[in-house]
Structure 1
């Protein structure tokens, strides 16, 4: 569980990132969750864009992605979801206490 201070820190790091995944009309599927989990292992912090033609609610999509990939939702703003998961092998981000 991330603290408020850690979420603020991660939001500042994610500000300059561009979304590397898009959730569209098809919604969330197992293949997408696996790819997001792999990307989180490599990068630790990613952005996911929810397209306007997506039929599911953004909050539901964020929860599905986070629980499926074992990540935490850092931020949900507009149509963008920021996810964080600490890498097991390549720790790049040092969170404040």
Structure 2
């Protein structure tokens, strides 16, 4: 998948602004269960927001990179303890990028 352009990233940030986090990563860290939940959420929504709790002990940027590597998602933004990810659903795309 090609990288998101600056324009596409800005567009997705705007869409994600009103989203509530669908996943919280806590003290269990990036377990296989969490990774599969993230993947399912990406299938359902394409654009998701993840809340990284301080108890996870993870570096937020490293966590975002690892999630992207394991799920094939693209990082839109890491802001505070929130991670915004995008992955197009090939069967039923919901978001049209500019």
* Offset at residue 61 of structure 1 (A): 0.8
How far did 1:73 drift? 0.5
How many residues of Structure 1 are paired with residues of Structure 2 in the alignment? Answer: 96
User: d(CA) in 2 for partners of 1:42 and 1:90?
Assistant: 9
For residues 29 and 37 of structure 2, what CA distance do their matches in structure 1 show? Answer: 14
Is the 1:42–1:90 contact (alpha carbons within 8 Å) kept by the matching residues of 2?
Answer: no
What is the TM-score when the length of structure 2 is the normalising length? 0.94
Report the 3-state secondary structure (helix = DSSP H, G, I; strand = E; otherwise coil) of the residue aligned with 2:51.
strand
2:29 is matched with which residue: 15, 18, 27?
27
Structure-1-length-normalised TM-score: 0.95
Q: State the alpha-carbon separation in 2 of the partners of residues 43 and 54 from structure 1.
A: 24
Q: Which runs of 5+ in 2 are unaligned?
A: none
Point out where structure 1 has 5 or more consecutive residues left out of the alignment.
Answer: none
Cα distance in 1 for partners of 2:65, 2:37 equals 16
| RMSD after superposition | 0.7
